């Protein structure tokens, strides 16, 4: 077993090329759990904390695009400028584990693990984020919907790493809500993120923990646009919110497992969708 501590993205990418069975380590909040459960035969580890390119985020105001490095911890998204730009991301970040976990855990880790319960992922999907990847072969970018393929399966090649995610800032309301059976520090049983883009008059909603991967409810989104003028944001008829919730829950594909039942998840995610929409239309 070897540990490598590259200090540049080029070095990190080169290591990924050289070491065939390498494990990437950022916050370690997923990886170390796997190690402790003996689920990984750990060979070579590339620790990414000192790769400065991954630790930063930028706001390009001309293109209204924010790019968040894969190594930026959730703690940095909870408050401050990032939270102002993406309130839904801040809300999701605040639900990630404990303060200690949020100081270590990263969006890159969420993407790399690609669990349907990853707290940040519904927000990224609802924001139409683009995932920026790098390998010795070069760089590429994928819409997040094409990046996430299934439960803990992504389009990430074995010699590739997540460099950052890019999102356009939006005008309008955005939010996130997550059901767990404890009031803090809990893994998601069902979650949802809603973005009401008042400029384009579109709504985007993505669901966590209710399918093999994060689910975008495109049919419910389109239905909502026919029922409600998102740009005008006038008072929302409760019947529309209820119907929206139902339609969202119909697009979920949950399973029974030890954390909950499919029936509850389907119900809960519909309630979340309804409430998020009502929250978004109250202001």
Interacting residue ranges for another protein, rule: CB under 8 A: 33, 36-38, 91, 94-95, 175-187, 189, 191, 258-261, 263-264, 267-268, 271-272, 275, 279
Q: Which CB sits closer to another protein, 48 or 124?
A: 124
Per-residue three-class SS string for 166-191 = EEECCCCCEEEEEECCCCCCCCCCEE
* Closer Cβ to another protein, 156 or 276, answer by number: 276
CA distance 106 to 72: 6
Q: Which residues contact 17 (CB under 8 A, 6 or more apart)?
A: 135, 136, 159
Distance, CA of 164 to CA of 60 (rounded, Å): 14
Least Å from the CB of residue 44 to another protein: 16
In this structure, the number of other CB atoms found within 10 A of the CB of residue 107 comes to 33
Residue among 38 and 62 whose Cβ is closer to another protein: 38
Written as six digits, the tokens of 242 are: 């209820």
Would you say 61 or 235 has its CB closer to another protein?
Answer: 235
Closest separation between CB of residue 282 and another protein, Å? Answer: 9
Distance CA 194, CA 174 (A): 6
CA R_g for the chain: 19
Name the residue nearer to another protein (CB basis): 145 or 208. Answer: 208
The least CB distance from residue 37 to another protein, in Å, is 6
Q: How far is the CB of 104 from another protein (least distance, A)?
A: 16
CB of 182 to another protein, least distance (A): 5
Q: Is 62 exposed, middle or buried (0-12, 13-18, 19+ CB in 10 A)?
A: exposed
């Amino acid at each position: 077993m070897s540990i490598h501590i590259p200090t540049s993205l080029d070095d990190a990418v080169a290591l990924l090329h050289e070491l065939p069975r390498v494990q990437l380590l950022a916050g370690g909040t997923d990886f170390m759990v796997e190690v402790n459960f003996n689920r990984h035969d750990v060979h070579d580890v590339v620790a990414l904390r000192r790769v400065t390119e991954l630790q930063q985020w930028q706001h390009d105001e001309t293109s209204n695009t924010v790019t968040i490095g894969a190594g930026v911890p959730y703690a940095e998204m909870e408050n401050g400028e990032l939270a102002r730009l993406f309130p839904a991301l801040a809300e999701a970040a605040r639900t990630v584990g404990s303060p200690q976990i949020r100081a270590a855990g990263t969006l890159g880790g969420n993407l790399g693990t690609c669990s349907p319960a990853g707290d940040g992922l519904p927000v990224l999907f609802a924001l139409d984020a683009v995932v920026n990847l790098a390998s010795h072969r070069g760089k590429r970018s994928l819409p997040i919907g094409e990046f996430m393929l299934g439960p803990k399966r992504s389009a990430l090649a074995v010699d590739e790493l997540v460099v950052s995610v890019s999102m356009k800032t939006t005008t309008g309301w955005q939010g996130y809500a997550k059901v767990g059976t404890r009031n803090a520090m809990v893994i998601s049983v069902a979650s949802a993120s809603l973005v009401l883009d008042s400029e384009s008059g579109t709504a985007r909603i993505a669901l966590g923990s209710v399918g093999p991967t994060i689910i975008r409810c495109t049919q419910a989104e389109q239905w909502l646009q026919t029922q409600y003028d998102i740009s005008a944001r006038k008072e929302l008829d409760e019947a529309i919110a209820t119907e929206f919730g139902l339609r969202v829950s119909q697009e979920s594909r949950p399973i029974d497992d030890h954390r909950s039942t499919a029936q509850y998840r389907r119900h809960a995610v519909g309630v979340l969708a309804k409430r998020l929409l009502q929250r978004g239309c109250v202001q």
